Amino acid sequence: MNFPIQKTEAEWRELLAAKGAEARAFDVTRHAHTERPYTGKYEQVWADGSYHCICCGNTLFDAKTKFDAGCGWPSFSQAVPGAITEITDRTHGMVRVETVCSQCGAHLGHVFDDGPTDTGLRYCMNSASLEHAPTKDTP
């Protein structure tokens, strides 16, 4: 699958290092690894703002759609329209829906149809693939 933003593995590593991304961000975003539950830096963050792709800055979620799913990963009920591409994932003997950034193809997590809101969705994301941008105070 081709995405608008393309880089080599070396360029992704350099970009993530320059951003001060956590060590596992490269393996999570570029090789679809999964962080262990309850270890991600955004799992219990409830601040206003938005969540962006750590690799390219694409806005993925409004913080207002975040909820505690009790699963150990940041969970959201709705993505920004067009921000995420869904791919059938048949790894580990399961059939799931993988979510990737629609701009750079970074692995974000998976989406499930067991969410508690009217969308019925639970976007289960890896903190290592996200960066939180707090709402800026306006005068």
Active site residues: 124
**Contact criterion met (CB below 8 Å) for 108 and 129:** yes
Render 67-128 in DSSP notation, one character per residue: E--SSSS-EES-PPTTSEEEEEE-GGG--EEEEEETTT--EEEEEES--SSTT--EEEE-GG
